[in-house]
Amino acid sequence: MLIDFPETEVIAYYTLSAYTVEITELNSSLAKGLPRYPLLPATLLGRLAVDRDYRGQHLGELMLIDALKKALEATASVASLAVIAEAIDETAANFYRKYGFQECQDNSSKLYLPMKSINELCQSLNI
Ligand SMILES: CC(C)(COP(=O)(O)OP(=O)(O)OC[C@H]1O[C@@H](n2cnc3c(N)ncnc32)[C@H](O)[C@@H]1OP(=O)(O)O)[C@@H](O)C(=O)NCCC(=O)NCCS
């Protein structure tokens, strides 16, 4: 959660939670190297949002990268192969696509970014 200081107004937020994804939902190139269990561990990025008055200042990007980094760090203890985002509409899906998220098979509102890509992103940002 991002809070405007010294006010106490919430200007942006997201949630992360443990999730599972069906192997059939993933792109075949990612699914290829994975164990053939029907359900695989993932991390759900719950609705990420920035207050309307604060949009366009890269706070959405800041929150997304913060969420991806936290999800990656958590894999030191709990397995997760990707971060999944459920976009509320096409505009939201486009925001995630900009950062490399791909659509799940048969569900264009559900997108994922493999943990390997998140690791590369964090390394490139030196965070
Ligand atoms: C989507 C949302 C989080 C973006 O937040 P924001 O702070 O306005 O976005 P940012 O300023 O961080 O944008 C970062 C980059 O993404 C781009 N971008 C922002 N929203 C975008 C969208 N919907 N589609 C494509 N690109 C988008 C910006 O142009 C910017 O690009 P740049 O780096 O080339 O300048 C915000 O509009 C929001 O809260 N929307 C309502 C809720 C929502 O749709 N959440 C998404 C998940 S359900």
The CATH number of the domain where 116 resides is what? 3.40.630.30
Q: Which two tokens stand for residue 7?
A: 């006010």
pLDDT band at 26 (very low <50, low <70, confident <90, very high): confident
How far is it, in rounded angstroms, from Cα 22 to Cα 1? Answer: 29
Per the structure, the complete domain to which residue 73 belongs is given by 2-125
Longest dimension (CA), the chain: 51
* Residue 10 CB less than 6 A away from ligand 1: no
Centre of ligand 1 to C-alpha 33, Å, is 32
How far is ligand 1, taken at its centre, from the CA of residue 38, in Å?
33
User: Number of folded domains in the chain?
Assistant: 1
pLDDT tens, residue by residue, 27-69: 877 878 788 888 999 999 998 999 999 999 999 999 999 999 9
pTM for the model: 0.94
Which among 50, 90, 97 is the best mutation to test ligand 1's pocket, defined by most ligand atoms within 8 Å of the CB?
50
d(CA 111, CA 94): 10
Dihedral sign computed on CA atoms, order 12, 16, 21, 26: positive
Helix intervals (H) in the chain: 28-31, 59-74, 90-98, 115-125
Q: Give distance in angstroms: CA of 28 to centre of ligand 1.
A: 28
Lowest mean pLDDT among 61-65, 67-71, 106-110, 119-123: 106-110
